[in-house]
Amino acid sequence: MKVALIGVGQAGGKVTERLARFDADMGFGAVRGALAVNSAKPDLQSLQVVDTQLIGADRVNGHGVGGDNELGTEIMQSDIQQVLGSLDGRVTSSAEGIFVVAGLGGGTGSGGAPVLVHHLQQVYDVPVYALGVLPGRNEGALYQANAGRSLKTIVREADATLLIDNDAWHEQGESVEGAFETINEKIARRVGLLFASGEAVEGVGESVVDSSEVINTLRSGGIATLGYASEIASDDSAENIRTAMTVSRQALLTGTSLPDATTADSALLVIAGDPEKIPRKGVEKSRRWLEDETGSMQVRGGDFPLESDRLGALVLLGGAERSARIQEFMERAREAKREQEREETDHVEQFSDDRLENLF
Ligand code: GDP
């Protein structure tokens, strides 16, 4: 699937850069253009391979918006023409979809990404998706509350929102901050493979997945998730059937970007590996298993021929918003918002019935 990427904010820029790099290093050519937009100049200066666009210079002078996502929204609204202008020539006619990438818990990305998606929808005919990073459980209340509002708005605006939970793809025991590098690397590989599936040049045949299957899976709208797992392939074909089943199960049950999201409206299973080793029977068996497990009648399946000694399974779910994990996150976000409001009123109350008089 040929895509144009626009990262908004710090996480958005870093993830976009990783994706563009992975796609170029692998020689896939699926990423057709990449731009990073931010109100913080130093964050843009740390990027090397993507083009950049500073916004809100008149309001925050390149210093960013802190965690103020309402300010992030305002700045994107004011400078939207500039951003759309810098996309000229980058969203080439070959892009089959646009992905707006952002951390949903911060300020610039959280507030700006939904606005950008809204405007892109007016300008471009191709689907506009969001790739959103959810704060981990241990990130503070401000992040949770920001992400709750941002998620609600971006789901309304985007054709689908692919969610990555910051708790999902880091190693046990690592702090979230220390794990950003690991997480970004995993996002780049997994989402990068998803973009590249359908772009395969070798082994083009009926069973090879193509980009319309990715687009059709995302047509369910709402929230999408992506799972991945891989194992060494064998020379024995019966063994490879078992491996295809194992990696497909792991991709959905333990390797997913949103833990515990297994109910979906649609799904796509891509088995990647050496075309000689991809077991037809294994792909079909795994696809049927995925139908049972997700409760979806719309489960597509296909191969992604790739030079590798491993067999990998990518599982894309569309319409996964009914998952318990999303309900739990939204509850956490609402609680964080209530907590913030309580704190604000507490401060006022503390001084309201004081016997001391105001100075003026
Ligand atoms: P912004 O620059 O104001 O948009 O704010 P950030 O992009 O820093 O957003 C903060 C949120 O994104 C928090 O939930 C962070 O945990 C997360 N975040 C920040 N940097 C990264 C990163 O490099 N990778 C990942 N996965 N998450 C990040």
| Ligand 1 pocket mutation pick from 8, 10, 139 by most atoms within 8 angstroms of CB | 10
CA torsion sign for 163, 69, 118, 99 is: negative
Q: Calculate how far, in angstroms, residue 13's C-alpha sits from the geometric centre of ligand 1.
A: 9
Same-domain check for residues 239 and 300: yes
- Residue 332: inside a domain: no
Asked if residue 33 and residue 119 are part of one domain, the reply reads yes
pLDDT by residue (tens digit) across 90-133? 777 789 999 999 999 999 999 999 999 999 999 999 999 999 99
Instruction: Give pLDDT tens digits for 150-166.
Output: 999 999 999 999 999 99
- Among 240, 254, 213, 262, CA closest to 311: 240
Q: Is 152 annotated as a binding residue?
A: no
Alpha helices in the chain (DSSP H): 9-26, 41-45, 57-60, 69-78, 80-87, 108-123, 141-157, 176-196, 211-218, 237-253, 280-294, 324-352
Residue 240 labeled ligand binder: no
Cβ 34 vs Cβ 50: under 8 Å: yes
Q: Are 25 and 130 in a shared domain?
A: yes
Indicate if ligand 1 lies below 6 Å from the C-beta of 108. yes
The answer to whether 166 is a known ligand-binding residue is: yes
Predicted confidence band of residue 345 (pLDDT cuts 50, 70, 90): confident
User: Helix, strand or coil for residue 82?
Assistant: helix
Domain of residue 95, residue span? 3-196
Regarding whether 165 and 20 lie in a shared domain, the answer is yes
Residue at 347 is within a domain:
no
Cβ(135) to ligand 1 under 6 A?
yes
Q: How many domains does the chain have?
A: 2
Residues 186 and 103 in one domain: yes
**294 and 186, same structural domain?**
no
Question: Average of pLDDT values for 45-61?
Answer: 96
Q: What number of residues does the chain have?
A: 360
Ligand 1 near 13 CB (within 6 A): no
Q: Is 106 annotated as a binding residue?
A: no
- Is 13 known to sit in a ligand binding site? yes
Atom of ligand 1 nearest to the CA of 166: 26
26 CA distance to ligand 1 centroid (A)? 26
CATH number at residue 72: 3.40.50.1440
Ligand 1 close to Cβ of residue 10 (< 6 A): yes
Give per-residue pLDDT as tens, 185-218.
999 999 999 999 877 655 556 688 989 999 999 9
In a domain, 323, yes or no: no
Residue 34 sits in the same domain as residue 183 = yes
Region 51-56 average pLDDT: 97
CATH number for 286:
3.30.1330.20
Task: Assess whether pLDDT exceeds 90 at residue 352.
Answer: no
> Which one of 133, 138, 169 would you pick to mutate in the ligand 1 pocket, going by the greatest count of ligand atoms within 8 A of its CB?
133
Best mutation site among 180, 191, 226, 258 for ligand 1 pocket (most ligand atoms within 8 Å of CB): 180
Do both 123 and 265 map to the same domain?
Answer: no
Is the pLDDT at 174 greater than 90? The verdict is no
ipTM of this complex: 0.99
Do 144 and 237 share a structural domain?
no
Same domain, 33 and 124: yes
Measured in Å, residue 178 CA sits from the centre of ligand 1 at 12
Query: How do residues 283-324 score in pLDDT, each as one tens digit?
Result: 999 999 999 999 998 999 999 998 999 999 999 999 998 888
- What pLDDT is recorded for position 200? 62
pLDDT at 175: 73
69 Cβ inside 6 Å of ligand 1: no
Residues 10, 133, single domain; the answer is yes
What's the pLDDT score for residue 353?
A: 64
How many of the other CB atoms lie within 10 Å of CB of 263?
Answer: 16
pLDDT level of residue 34 (50, 70, 90 thresholds): very high
- Rounded CA gap, 87 and 89, in Å? 6
Higher pLDDT, 248 or 337: 248
Q: Is 203 inside a domain boundary? A: no
Following CA atoms 106, 111, 117, 118 in sequence, which dihedral angle do they give, to the nearest 10 degrees? 170
Reported as a single tens digit per residue, the pLDDT across 289-298 is 999 999 998 9
- The percentage of residues in the chain with a pLDDT greater than 90, rounded to a whole number, is 77
